[in-house]
Amino acid sequence: MDEQTTLYIGSTSFIAILIILNSGSFGDFWLIAVALSMAVILVIFLINYADYVLFPIFTIVTGIKISPARNYYIPRTANAVVKYTNGLYYATGYLSANVYNYVFSAESIDTSEDAKLGEAPDKWERIVMNANFPFRFNFVSVTEDVQTYREELEGIRGTYEFRLAKEEQAATPSELTMEDLRRKMSVVDARLSRLGAGERPVNSIMYIESTAVGVSEKEAMDALNNQLNNLRTLFGLFDLSINRIIGREVYHLFSFNYSLPEQETLTTIFSTQR
Amino acid sequence: MSQRFLFALMLIASCTFLLFIYILPPNPLQKFIFAILCLLFDLIAFSTKLYMDFLVPMLKMRGRTIVVDDEEAFVLAPSGEAITVRKGGDIFASAFVKIPSYRSGTEMTPEEKVEFAKLFGRALTITNRPVRFGAQLYVINKDKYIGNIRDKLNEVEERYQRATMNKDISKGEAERIRGEVTMWHNLLDNVNKVKSHALDAFAMITEQGNTEEEAVTLVTQQANELVAGLSSIFGIAANVVVGEDILRYIEPDYMIPVVTETEQLRGKIAEEGV
């Protein structure tokens, strides 16, 4: 959890807790006050950790549409952006495409990674050949400042070193904990050496979008659902975690077509995908 | 209004109601009402973290539609080299760079494939600004082609009608014109049968400025840097996309051109009718 989230959750939950503590002064309403406060705390956590569930529920129940720009609207299912023009409906939907990091465990590039890279162009061409409909694969990247990232890694390494030394000096040192800390340190070391070799750290967001057209909203949405399901199958060739994007993030991805935000905003918007 | 400012404002409002609960004389109903208000502002304060873009428009809701923006999604800059978006007092300009590649995985050796895939890693670190790299499969625009065929068809049909009414024209000549009508009809029907696709790779970059001119100038500079970097890395002739071609990367009705699609739909309906 980043600092901002901690501050937001901490301060707002604290206010709700203060009301619970003072519930005695509400007389006969004390139970309702406690229940409401607990509900607020629950909703705060739901917004933070599962807003992709909460947001569509809210729009479906209230029947609210969102219009992000002229001629465009996000229907109440909050899973697509629809454009109505020239008597046709264009529905655009999104899939997240997060890559599993091949080098997380050892953080060293082995030969199998090269083999996977070598297969990538062929796999991509196979996807393009089999997709008989328009789609777009997007990769938003932001390079981090090398010095800041190095300092951050060195700080993390220092923490692990301190914890390892403390564990070693303990009366009954846990071999399991020490092994885990050593493994984490080797990961950080490998990252530091990759930085030393000239690699630059990159933050990235990947997503796939597809557009379907129809003479009615339903026809366009049905065609879109089919296309997105096809894309999920086709991109299964890569080791990607593919999920349909619904809710608030649909609006943000729509706005990415016209302007990209700063790195700070990018990481806030997609903090759960980081 | 910034997100942090709104959060602070809502939190202050919530704390004020909380203070009332603690300092007011013991009137349970009054305190309970303040507790509800306190929790409401508390929840709104937290919601600003993720739903800032929707909160203010929600207050100005029209029926059941939250209008985030009722202007066009973007404006094409007069130079045609970028699009601009206005968000509050800020102006953002985005430029697009086309990345043409004429190499296929089928004509590469395994080593070349690995090298080619690794080039993307280098391309990501050309600039420290956020960049969106994309590859899109889109429907080839046959609108003009279809328009020309229709014009020809109309012209020949009219000629055929005149020929059938004119007794001076020989039977052979009338038959020839009828053959021409059939030819144009067949051509139009064949266009409907197949949807042709093309693949494009592109990069998009955004810059912020105080005025539209400033933002466009800044983003054009950045786009030219991207062009130079991408051209040298991939050994291709990347170029800044200018004019109407930009729309293909952002507008769904340019990704799936209207006339081409309508003809396709017409063909489908006719086929189903038969």
**Residue-wise pLDDT tens digits, B129-140:** 889 999 999 888
Which residues in chain A have their CB less than 8 angstroms from residue B129's CB? 142
Mean pLDDT of A116-137: 83
Q: Are residues A212 and A181 part of one domain? A: no
| DSSP annotation string for A12-74 | HHHHHHHHHHTGGGGGGGHHHHHHHHHHHHHHHHHHHHHHHHHHHHHHHHHT-EEE-STTEEB
* The pLDDT value given to residue A188: 87
Q: Which residue has the higher pLDDT, A273 or B77?
A: B77
Q: B151 near B143, Cβ under 8 Å? A: no
CA distances from B24 to A14, B19, B31, B32, B273 (A): 20, 8, 8, 11, 76
A182 and A238: one domain? Answer: no
Assess contact for B165 and B179: CB atoms under 8 A: no
Q: In this predicted structure, what is the pLDDT of residue B192?
A: 67
Crossing angle for the helix pair B258-273 and B143-165, to the nearest 10 degrees: 60
Q: What is the DSSP string of chain B?
A: --HHHHHHHHHHHHHHHHHHHHHS-S-HHHHHHHHHHHHHHHHHHHHHHHHHHHHHHHHT-BTTEEES--S-S-EE-TTSS-EEEEETTEEEEEEEEE------GGGS-HHHHHHHHHHHHHHHTS-SS-EEEEEEEEE---HHHHHHHHHHHHHHHHHHHHHHH-TTS-HHHHHHHHHHHHHHHHHHHHHHH---EEEEEEEEEEEEESSHHHHHHHHHHHHHHHHHHHHHHHTS--EE--GGGGHHHH-HHHHTTHHHHHHHHHHHHHHHH-
For residues A273, B2, B7 and B13, what is the CA-based torsion angle, rounded to 10 degrees?
A: -160
- Between residues B24 and A94, the one the model is more confident about: A94
Which of A35, A61, A87 represents a domain boundary (last residue)?
A: A61
Looking at the predicted structure, is the pLDDT value of residue A240 above 50?
yes
Confidence of residue A34 (pLDDT cuts 50, 70, 90): very high
Nearest to B68 by CA among B60, B77, B76: B60
Give the mean model confidence (pLDDT) for residues A243-270.
Answer: 83
Tell the burial category of B76 from Cβ atoms under 10 Å away from its Cβ (0-12, 13-18, 19+): middle
Domain that holds residue A250: 67-143+202-273
Shared-domain flag, residues A178 and A223: no
Residue B106 has a pLDDT of: 72
Is residue B103 one of the residues assigned to a domain? yes
Q: Identify whether residues B173 and B93 lie together within a single domain.
A: no
**CB-CB under 8 Å, B199 with A128:** yes
Question: Nearest chain B Cα to A83, which residue?
Answer: B252
Q: Is residue B162 part of a domain?
A: yes
143-162 of A, contacting B, C-beta below 8 A: 143, 145
Backbone φ and ψ for A135, nearest 5 degrees, come out as -155, 165
If one counts the domains in chain B, the total is 3
Q: Is residue B129 located within the same domain as residue B235?
A: yes
pTM score, two decimals?
0.80
Using an 8 Å CB-CB cutoff, list chain B residues near A121: 104-105, 108, 113, 116-117
**Whether pLDDT at A230 is above 90:** yes
Neighboring chain B residues of A37 at a CB cutoff of 8 Å: 35, 39
Chain B residues with CB under 8 Å of A86 CB are 253, 258, 262
Same domain, B96 and B25: no
Co-location of B133 and B265 in the same domain: yes
Domain that includes residue B29, residue range: 3-59
Task: Find tokens 């956020």 and name the residue.
Answer: B130
Looking at the structure, tell me whether residues A137 and A211 fall in a common domain: yes
**Tokens 């090298």, located at residue:** B115
Decide if B181 is inside a domain.
Answer: yes
ipTM above 0.85, yes or no: no
Provide, as residue numbers in chain A, all residues whose Cβ is less than 8 Å from the Cβ of B111. 118
- Span A163-177, pLDDT tens digits: 999 988 888 888 888
Q: How far is CA B48 from the centre of its chain?
A: 27
Q: What is the pLDDT of residues B140-156, one digit of tens each?
A: 877 777 888 888 989 99
Give the chain A residue nearest B68 (alpha carbons).
A68
Separation of alpha carbons B142 and B257, rounded Å: 8
Whether A191 and chain B come into contact, CB under 8 Å, resolves to no
Quote the tokens at residue A11.
């301060």
- Residue B125 has its nearest CB partner, among A70, A114, A143, at A143
Pair B200, B136: CB distance under 8 Å: yes
Q: Both B179 and B209 in a single domain?
A: no
In this predicted structure, which of A25-39, A96-110, A206-220, B143-157 has the lowest mean pLDDT? Answer: A96-110
A12, A25, A145 ranked by CB distance to B46: nearest: A12
pLDDT digit string, tens, across residues A72-89: 999 999 999 999 988 889
Tell me the backbone φ, ψ of residue A75, rounded to 5 degrees: -65, 170
Partner residue opposite B252 with nearest CB, options A15, A83, A266: A83
Task: Give A153-205 pLDDT, tens digit per residue.
Answer: 899 999 999 999 998 888 888 888 888 889 888 888 888 887 887 777 777 78
Tell me the CA end-to-end span of chain A in Å, nearest whole number. 11
Confidence check: pLDDT of B127 > 90: no
Taking only the tens place, the pLDDT of each residue in A41-67 is: 999 999 988 888 889 999 999 999 999
The answer to whether residues A73 and A34 belong to one domain is no
Examine the pLDDT at A268 and tell me if it is beyond 90: no
Q: Which of A120-129, A248-257, B8-17 has the lowest mean pLDDT?
A: A120-129
Task: Give the pLDDT confidence score for residue A119 in this predicted structure.
Answer: 76
- Structure confidence at residue A99 as a pLDDT band (50, 70, 90): low
What local confidence, expressed as pLDDT, does residue A73 receive? 94
Q: Looking up tokens 């923006």, which residue turns up?
A: B69
Q: Which helix (H) or strand (E) holds A9?
A: helix A3-21
- Provide the number of structural domains found in chain A: 3
Residue B34 CA to residue A113 CA, distance in Å, equals: 60
Place of tokens 């080593």: B111
The helix/strand/coil state of A210 is: strand
Say if A204 is an interface residue toward chain B (CB within 8 Å): yes
Contact A137 B135 (CB under 8 A): yes
A116-125, A197-206, B241-250: range with highest mean pLDDT = B241-250
Clarify whether residues A123 and A223 are in a common domain: yes
* Mean predicted confidence (pLDDT) in A90-100: 84
- CA-to-CA distance for A35 and A20, rounded, in angstroms? 9
Which residues, numbered 45 to 74 in chain A, qualify as contacts with chain B under a Cβ-Cβ cut-off of 8 Å? 47-48, 51, 62-70, 72-73
Could B65 and A67 be called an inter-chain contact, meaning their C-beta atoms sit closer than 8 Å? yes
Whether residue A100 is predicted with pLDDT greater than 80 in this model: the reply is no
Quote the minimal CA–CA distance from A225 to chain B in Å: 16
Question: Looking at A92-106, A116-130, A194-208, B181-195, which range is the least confident one?
Answer: A92-106
A210 and A253 belong to one structural domain: yes
Q: Are A94 and A224 in contact (CB under 8 A)?
A: no
SS3 label, residue A1: coil
A6 interfacial to chain B (CB closer than 8 Å): no
Burial label for A55, CB within 10 Å (0-12, 13-18, 19+), is: buried
Tell me what pLDDT residue A165 has: 92
pLDDT digits (tens, 9 = 90+) for B166-219: 878 787 888 888 888 888 888 887 776 677 788 889 999 999 988 999 999 999
Å between A169 CA and nearest CA of chain B? 43
Mean pLDDT of chain A: 85
Are residue B40 and residue B155 in the same domain, yes or no?
A: no
Would the pLDDT of A274 be above 50? no
DSSP string, A211-226: EEEESSHHHHHHHHHH
What is the Cα–Cα distance from B241 to B246, expressed in whole angstroms? 6
Q: How confident is the model at residue A104 (pLDDT cuts 50, 70, 90)?
A: very low
Nearest to B118 among A73, A117, A248 (CB): A117
Query: Would you call B150 exposed, middle or buried from its count of C-beta atoms within 10 A (0-12, 13-18, 19+)?
Result: middle
CA-wise closest residue to A84 among A266, A221, A274? A221
Q: What is the mean pLDDT of the segment spanning B221-229?
A: 93
**A53, A73: one domain:** no
Q: What is the pLDDT of residues B7-64, one digit of tens each?
A: 999 999 999 999 988 887 778 888 899 999 999 999 999 999 888 888 888 888 878 8
Q: Are B137 and A134 in contact (CB under 8 A)?
A: yes
Q: What integer best gives the mean pLDDT of chain B?
A: 86
Tell me which chain B residues have a C-beta less than 8 angstroms from the C-beta of A198.
none
A50 CB-near residues (< 8 Å, 6+ apart): none
Say whether pLDDT at A103 is over 50.
no
